[in-house]
Amino acid sequence: MTANLTQPTCELDLRTIPPRERHPLIFGRFDALAAGQSLQLVNDHNPQPLRYQFEDRAFGQFEWAVLEAGPAVWRIQITRIAQSAAPSAGAKGGSCCSGGACCG
């Protein structure tokens, strides 16, 4: 699937943000996006570890496009393609044992 490379909803220059604040800020901004909106990141290194975190935290909810690949500047566009698909607590069949038969 090809990422929507339209104007980003939000652009973050991570080079100006302390490292410990970057990932929480990025995930907060991503969580605020509606489907079809995007976040563009500018960084001074390859953000591959961040991509792994996105795969773990938001699998199936985003597209990742490398717009510029260093060596001095990396520009990544992350587009939300779906909202969270987490099942609700009261959803039928949402337990670990297919409907709760063993949870009585």
Contacts of 80 (CB under 8 A, 6+ apart): 30, 33, 34, 35, 36, 37, 38, 61, 62
- Does the residue 49 lie in any domain? yes
- Does the residue 87 lie in any domain? no
pTM assigned to the model: 0.73
Return the CATH number at 46.
3.30.110.40
- Does the residue 45 lie in any domain? yes
**In contact, 6 and 38? CB cutoff 8 Å:** yes
- Does the residue 30 lie in any domain? yes
From first to last of its 104 residues, the chain has per-residue pLDDT tens of 444 455 667 899 999 999 999 999 999 999 999 999 999 999 999 999 999 999 999 999 999 999 999 999 999 999 999 887 554 444 443 333 333 333 33
- Does the residue 98 lie in any domain? no
Could you tell me the residue range of the domain that residue 58 belongs to? 10-80
Count the domains in the chain: 1
